[in-house]
A and B are shown apart, each in its own frame.
Chain A
Amino acid sequence: MKIDRRCFLSLGVGAGAGIALSPLPWKITDDLSIWTQNWSWTPVPATGEFTTVNTICTLCPGGCGISVKKVDNRAIKIEGMTDHPVNGGGICSLGLSGLQLLYGPTRIKTPLKRTGERGSGQWTALSWDQAIAEVAEKLNAIRTSGSPQSVACISGATSPTVSRLIDRFMAAYGSPNSLSVPTFIDSYRAALQLMHGVAANPGFDLEHAGYILSFGSGLLDGWGSPVRTFKANSGWKKSKVKLVQIEPRLSRTAAKADVWITINPGTESDLAMGIAHVIIKESLFKADFVQNYASNFNEQFRKLILDNFSPETVSKTTGVDSASIIMIAREFAKAKNPLAVCGRGQGNIPGGMNEFLAVHALNALVGAINREGGIWAVADMPVSDWPAVQQDSTATTGSRRPRLDNAGTQAFPVAMSLLNQFSSALISGKPYPVQALLMVESNPVFTLADSESTRNALNKIPFIVSFSSFMDDSAALSDLILPNHVYLERMEDVASAAGFNRPLIGLCQPVVTPGLDTRHVGDAVILLAQALGGAIADAFPWDSFENCLEETLGDQLETLKEKSFVVDEGFQPDSWATAFHTPSQKFEFIPTALASKKPFAPINPEGDASAFPVILLPYDTMRISSGFIGNPPFLTKTIEDTVLKGTHSLIEINPKTAQTFGLKEGNMAMLQTPKGQAPVQVHIDDGIMPGVIALPRGLGHVAYDSYLAGKGVNINRLIGSVPDPVSGLDAAWGIRAKLSKA
């Protein structure tokens, strides 16, 4: 048969139609999509047995209970523990990202020893035996030379038993320089010490408060125990409880508050006094409390307030009009269960005692102390006895030397530890130089104010040991790293949640078996003590941290292992008659200990107003973790592009301020303060007071992994520490600054 053109075409069309009508094209496209999508590098998560482990999150002082879902020995999801008294099922964005810390590239996999220049990132792996031997050898040499006091330790450990263990190690070794990382809770503790005469933590009965006056506290930005505060806020909204937020910037808290009072930064204590003035003048105070349970009210406090803080006077300094001051004072005093709180932002900087004393005095005026919906003094839980440390003569001599941070000295008798004053002692080398530094769960190079000089100060120390789980900014500067387990691999007790008003203890339990060559820092300390031998080894009768924990917690441990927490549900704070143990045995509006000081004087920002016309404020957000824990990738992903763009931090600036500097949205500018300078991108925002500019805390890491390092500006580089005249803790709430077009 001859195939002509016509025949060829019809055959072709017929074949085409035939194939089109057959399932073949569909089969091929289906196969094609299956084939093209089966990339060998796209992981297929293995399935297995699903289980859940309850534990406590220790990424912030919030102390939330978490339930971690597992598939075999893999942790796959963190969720809030539904029956935990603090968070009741809710969980924050950092807590949710915890698995990225557990399995992340920033983990230190094995003990490391520095090989190159300090900070160059050149390391060689060591075995644990070698690492412990190296540290012991150095510490032994320092001790033999007769200066054990020149070893210091900075610890941000979340476990009370780990903290005790470290303090014990330092005592047995012979150094007074055991430092902790302070927060606003330390300022509250100082206020309770001074005004109540007790060693107690502040507990806020947020759930029953009837009116909340917040002096810049980031109640919805991570203050205290964030999830608990969020839940309390939702309760306030539903029961129409008024939240008044006092701050110069429209934070998330201010946006959600019923009233946002814009105030000149740094004048919060003045406003508190102005409110006190109205309450006293109009006799709106709780007469019973003031007359029967407080001392020096009439003679001193009343006079001080009435003479100096009329609404008109206060209005001039604070910028808040006197009508608003009077209105708030009346509302606050007349409300059922009023509560005033302070501690700026998340309270990572302890803050000025002027604010804490003034705000606490306000609570006292309205009788909000140790009462429903008020602030409670929650006494420290008794701890089980450990045998006393038997110091040898070297240790006795060493630990009698003065502390390098001036804590507990005549100048700062209330303070237990003043980390902010440590680096100046390092730089001056007086009264004695530091020869070795141990760092536990802390990142001072990043979190301390004036971080550049902290870095320089640390660089002067010949031997630095880090126990960090992560390659943080400070671990990167160290000579030896003895990596700790991360919280999901650890067994340790956890202190109560920040600001929680009932005695609570939690147990952090291992969710997964440790996958890297890490050890619990408690075990490392015990090993180190044993390697040092003599009286130091004798002070540690435990063969492991777990053993120490079992002995310390006793019977409680079994309950804790089962439930993860123990709470005293029926706890009631002391009544007014028995609560105060000051020299006068009453509440002291002006503490006897401060008679010679000016406790309510405002803290001024560093810098000269003519050279630095605006004020730079740090702010906190739930989307950036600014403490020892750096942002996991998921959290960084939630940062808005008006806060971080590429590697640039954006500075929040009012359109009016921007105009005076000739800056427009998106411009690059040079931000200068008396402490340093940094390039920033301009973000114009109406939510900030003219004359004030703001940067978030927690960006600008130089270490960690490529998901975090090199992004944005570390605001601590631009702000210096201002020691509070009463507590000695860091009270810097901002700094003077200027901007110029770059």
Chain B
Amino acid sequence: MKNEHDHTSTKKFGMVINLDLCTGCGSCMVACMSENNVPFKEDESDKLRSITWMKVYKLTNKRPFPETDICYLPRPCQHCEGHDGHSPCVSVCPATATDYDMNTGIVSQIYTRCFGCRYCMGACPYHARYFNWFDPVWPEGMEKYLNPNVSPRMRGIVEKCSFCYHRYQAAKDKAHLEGRKEIEEGEYQTACTQACPAGAITFGDLNNPDHAVYSLKKDPHAFRLLEKLGTNPKVYYVSSKEWVRKAGDNYLENERPAWK
């Protein structure tokens, strides 16, 4: 794209997650749930039906004791850019309920347009999308904590991580009121980034050289998930462990990984 490096007009929000620092504690998951009014049920142990916009996966190196190693991998929506915004889910949505925003690089999900065909869920290679099989039910009194900036979803539609887009809107509103055109890096941070006790998540504009993610994504140990599919995701991972980097894609036994 011609504006790719002009961050004043075209932003490309993304994340760099340092897997060496991530402890798998699950704070990002809960921060996301409480920020985004994610519902919960009595039994959430069927993970196929458990809505977790941010999900921490546990990877193992499959070696016997005591050479076993594990690594935790937080997975938000990868906000794939594909080629020119043709991310897998956007390409298949018949309702234009999900769209790629060229100005921010955020893949939106517009609940009122979604009619629940779930094509996008089939298209997403990251299992980042979740379907509401049931109406959300908050026990009496608990709806008090719902965040007015995020609309609760109802039965029959798909939802996913929005990179806390409402926080971007709030930051822009604030900047506008103060007569600024640009927002500061710290003004727009996702709930998971803000909460992470280990400081493993960094969020910012991948196009902006002043933002931390700009240089972090160039770490020699940085990789993205399933890069071979050409989804061009905007979530980068950094791990010093080779087996972890290799777990990021489906490599054949003797295949040379993309990051090598």
Contacts and interface: CB of A to CB of B under 8 A. Distances in A.
A622 interface: yes
A612 B186 CA distance: 56
* Candidate in A256, A640, A641 with the most chain B CB atoms within 10 angstroms: A256
Interface in A54-100: 71, 74-80, 87, 89-93, 96-97, 99-100
A34 interface: yes
Contacts of A428: none
Interface stretch (A143-151, A231-239, A288-296, A671-679): A231-239
Interface string A91-115: 1110011011011110000000000
Given A105-B141, A105-B142, A686-B60, A93 B26 contact: yes
A690 interface: yes
B25 A93 contact: yes
* Candidate in B33, B45, B64, B196 with the most chain A CB atoms within 10 angstroms: B45
Nearest to B62: A686
B60 A687 contact: yes
A90 B22 CA distance: 13
Given A255-B70, A706-B42, A707-B40, A634 B23 contact: no
A707 B137 CA distance: 12
B195 A633 contact: no
B152 A654 contact: no
Contacts of A103: 141-142, 144-145
Interface stretch (A41-49, A132-140, A403-411, A603-611): A41-49
Contact of A99 (B34, B44, B197): B34
Interface stretch (B1-9, B108-116, B209-217, B250-258): B108-116
A571 interface: no
A636 B44 contact: yes
Interface string B60-88: 10111110111110000000000000000
B45 A645 contact: yes
Contact of A100 (B46, B142, B155): B142
Nearest to B55: A638
Interface in B146-173: 146-148, 151-157
Contacts of A655: 64
A693 interface: no
B112 A93 contact: no
Given A96-B31, A103-B141, A634-B30, A80 B65 contact: no
A577 interface: no
Contacts of A739: none
* Candidate in B35, B37, B66, B152 with the most chain A CB atoms within 10 angstroms: B66
A230 B65 contact: no
Contacts, number: 197
B195 A91 contact: yes
A226 interface: yes
A635 to B, nearest CB: 7
B197 A87 contact: yes
A230 B27 CA distance: 12
A37 interface: yes
A661 to B, nearest CB: 16
B40 A633 contact: yes
B70 to A, nearest CB: 5
A45 B150 CA distance: 9
Contacts of B20: 237, 256
Contact of B139 (A78, A87, A705): A705
B52 interface: yes
A419 B139 CA distance: 35
A92 B148 CA distance: 23
A204 interface: no
Contacts of A654: 65
Nearest to A633: B40
Contacts of A36: 156
A637 interface: yes
A686 B63 contact: yes
B30 A638 contact: yes
Contact of B68 (A252, A635, A687): A687
A33 interface: yes
A220 interface: yes
B31 A689 contact: no
Contacts of B29: 93, 637-638
B195 A80 contact: yes
B34 A623 contact: no
Contact of B27 (A42, A93, A231): A93
Contacts of B52: 637-638
Contact of A96 (B46, B70, B142, B195): B195
A340 interface: no
Contacts of A356: none
Given A96-B195, A234-B21, A237-B21, A255 B40 contact: no
B248 interface: no
Nearest to B95: A33
B71 A255 contact: yes
B157 A230 contact: no
Given A91-B197, A100-B145, A105-B142, A252 B154 contact: no
Contacts of B31: 91, 93, 96
A80 B197 CA distance: 9
Contact of A231 (B66, B144, B197): B197
B143 interface: yes
A152 interface: no
B187 interface: no
Given A77-B147, A689-B65, A227 B197 contact: yes
A76 B199 contact: no
B138 interface: yes
B254 to A, nearest CB: 25
B198 interface: yes
B28 to A, nearest CB: 9
B37 A45 contact: yes
A250 B26 CA distance: 18
A612 B113 CA distance: 60
A37 B197 contact: no
A644 interface: yes
Contact of A105 (B26, B30, B140, B196): B140
Interface in B198-252: 198-200
B65 A92 contact: no
A42 B136 contact: yes
Contacts of A46: 148
A97 B112 contact: no
Interface in B88-130: 111-113, 115
Contacts of B115: 33
Interface string A570-608: 000000000000000000000000000000000000000
A636 B30 CA distance: 10
Contacts of A74: 144-145
A220 B25 contact: yes
Contacts of B113: 33
Nearest to A654: B65
B42 A707 contact: yes
Contacts of A633: 40, 44
A34 B111 CA distance: 10
A27 to B, nearest CB: 14
Nearest to A639: B45
Nearest to A657: B65
Interface of B: 20-21, 23-27, 29-31, 33-35, 37, 40, 42-47, 50, 52, 56, 58, 60, 62-66, 68-72, 111-113, 115, 135-136, 138-148, 151-157, 194-200
6 contacts: A33-B113, A42-B154, A87-B197, A92-B27, A93-B25, A638-B29
Instruction: Give me the 9 closest cross-chain CB pairs, A-B, nearest first.
Output: A90-B197, A45-B146, A638-B26, A622-B25, A47-B148, A230-B197, A99-B145, A227-B197, A686-B68
Interface of A: 33-34, 36-37, 39, 41-48, 71, 74-80, 87, 89-93, 96-97, 99-100, 102-105, 220, 226-227, 230-231, 233-234, 237, 250, 252, 255-256, 260, 262, 515, 622-623, 633-642, 644-646, 654-656, 686-690, 705-707
Given A37-B156, A636-B40, A638-B29, 5 more contacts: A42-B135, A74-B144, A96-B30, A103-B141, A637-B29
